[in-house]
Chain A
Amino acid sequence: MGRVAFIFVLLLECMIAKEDTALKRCAVCHESKAPPLSRIYRRYLMLYSSKERIRNKMVDFLVSPSLQKSAMPLGMRKRFNPQAHPAYSKTVAKEAAKELIEKFDIVPRIIVPKR
């Protein structure tokens, strides 16, 4: 019984760790030397509008980062050099994009005043 409980707790921890991993990995740089993730999300939001399109564009960039694929303004691209951005597997990139959208989405924060 003790073994079963141990395995269950281990699996759960692994799952939680996996959820946080992708975005945490991004946050390492984007909280210090790269543009903040919230600003990146808003930039993507302003350019691509729908979550589906934002996700696709982000994954595309994360899988093979390049200057052309970067959505950031020219000044920022020159300053932060997107070619140097590490590349990720498609799975990790998808996960990171999903977490980013969920975390920084603006719409759920907007309150519609009642008439």
Chain B
Amino acid sequence: MSITFESEKKALRRFLALYLISTFFLIAVGLAIFYNYSFHRIIDHQNSVLKFRTSLIVPMLRKLHTSIEPHLLYPKIEGIHTALYDIDKNYLIGDFKPERVDWHREFWQEDNMLYYRKNLEPYYIGAANIVAAMPLDKTPIIVLRNRIILAFIFAMLFVFFISRWLGKLFLAPVRNTFELLNRFIQDTAHELNTPVSTIVTNVELFKNLYFEFESSEELRRIEIASKRLSRLYDDLVYLQLNHKRRRKIENISFDKLLKERADYFASFAARKNIELKNEIDISVLKEMDREDAIKLIDNLLSNSVKYTRYGGKIWVRLKKGFFEVEDSGIGMDKEALKHVTKRFFRADESVGGFGIGLHIVYEIVNFYGWELDIDSKKEVGTKVRVIWEE
């Protein structure tokens, strides 16, 4: 299917991005709280180990206090360092001397070391305070951190797949609608082809056979109406086959083609008493597909004729670096201007059409890497300029 639903996809992508970002923050905050809680649990556990090991020194100090040996050995506890202080916080002895002691706290942490301070009573060997230190075991913290990162990645992947699945689920009805619309247009185009071709051929034949009807107003109306139908059919087919069609890039005399198409549309303009002015002053050769060039010019001229009121004016200009079609038509407001190149968008529903003309123009301009500049003012007119590099 050639018809896409870009705006719906864009809206859905925005919604999913918002969903993913908010979920990302929620999961991140949740995991951060969990990490903080678990981190403190690890530290608490290591602190309790330090506290337990420190408590083992008390009976050893008692033994020292009562010993009558001339030389005594300072008690050593496996895995920790200890330092003893008297009641006035003077350092007595120890297997290390801390640089700083936080006398107001029981536990503290400094430079990857856990510290524990305990009051001793009675004061064996005069020690009223003991400060113990143990290196912080980082392994469980690293394991915790890795697990949290993994959990975060898995959670985000899960959320991502869920969001994709949700996206497809929500997009399914839109997709179905577009497929139905696409099929309808395809079928309509197919059904239009035979009767339109028959009418156009027979009008030509009728004019050749019966010369007296050549200037007939009724026949001219039939001819114009059938040409409009024929062009509509061409547009629908172009849209349908745009991505499958093979373009034949050649040197095209753009000024000649523009004059030719302007002459062709002159009859339509004349029906509404619209003055179509050509300001084609220069010769321009463009390397492009002929059908693309015709579609580009025809759609712009057709729109101008369609949306210009009785007695209005249309200017077709070809200048250095651009060509433009300007009209004194009904114009558009700024909001409509934003969506005017979207497929099936119609700024004014009072006039017939499918809303594909400017979309085709937009696609062609994009294909050749040119620029499309649309300027419009409600009730004043519209100017569409196709800008290319010389």
Query: Hey, which bits of chain A sit against chain B, CB under 8 A?
Result: 38, 42, 45-53, 106-107, 109-113, 115
Contacts and interface: CB of A to CB of B under 8 A. Distances in A.
Nearest to A105: B126
B90 A107 contact: no
B72 A48 contact: no
Given A48-B123, A49-B126, A106-B65, A112 B87 contact: no
Interface stretch (B91-99, B207-215, B289-297, B381-389): B91-99
Contact of A113 (B76, B90, B123, B127): B76
Contacts of B93: 107, 110, 112
B1 interface: no
Given A53-B88, A106-B65, A47 B71 contact: no
Given A46-B123, A46-B124, A50-B86, 4 more contacts: A50-B90, A109-B71, A110-B125, A112-B94
Given A45-B123, A45-B126, A113 B88 contact: no
Given A106-B126, A111-B72, A112-B95, A50 B65 contact: no
B64 interface: yes
Contacts of B126: 45-46, 49-51, 106-107
Contacts, number: 65
Contact of B72 (A45, A46, A109, A115): A109
B88 A50 contact: yes
Contact of A46 (B68, B74, B122): B122
Nearest to B90: A50
B131 interface: no
Contact of A107 (B73, B87, B125): B125
Given A107-B93, A112-B94, A115-B95, A49 B128 contact: yes
Contacts of A110: 64, 72-74, 93, 125
B128 A112 contact: no
Interface in B104-138: 122-128
A9 B74 CA distance: 43
Interface residues of B, number: 25
A63 to B, nearest CB: 22
A62 B322 CA distance: 117
B70 interface: yes
Interface of B: 64-66, 68, 70-74, 76, 86-88, 90, 92-95, 122-128
Given A49-B127, A109-B72, A42 B65 contact: yes
Which of A42, A48, A49 counts the most chain B CB atoms within 10 A? A49
Closest 4 CB pairs between A and B? Answer: A49-B87, A49-B123, A50-B86, A49-B128
A48 B128 CA distance: 9
10 contacts: A45-B125, A48-B123, A49-B86, A49-B87, A49-B126, A51-B126, A106-B72, A106-B126, A107-B93, A109-B70
A46 B70 contact: no
A46 B87 contact: no
A38 B92 CA distance: 19
B87 A50 contact: yes
Contacts of A49: 86-88, 123, 126-128
Contact of B65 (A46, A53, A113, A115): A46
B333 to A, nearest CB: 85
Contacts of A111: 71-74
Which of A38, A42, A46, A115 counts the most chain B CB atoms within 10 A? A46
B361 to A, nearest CB: 85
B1 to A, nearest CB: 79
Which of B74, B90, B126, B127 counts the most chain A CB atoms within 10 A? B126
A113 B86 CA distance: 21
Nearest to B72: A110
Contacts of B74: 110-113
Contacts of B95: 112-113, 115
B170 to A, nearest CB: 68
Which of A48, A50, A53 counts the most chain B CB atoms within 10 A? A50
Nearest to B128: A49
B53 to A, nearest CB: 16
A47 B70 CA distance: 22
A51 B90 CA distance: 10
Contacts of B124: 46
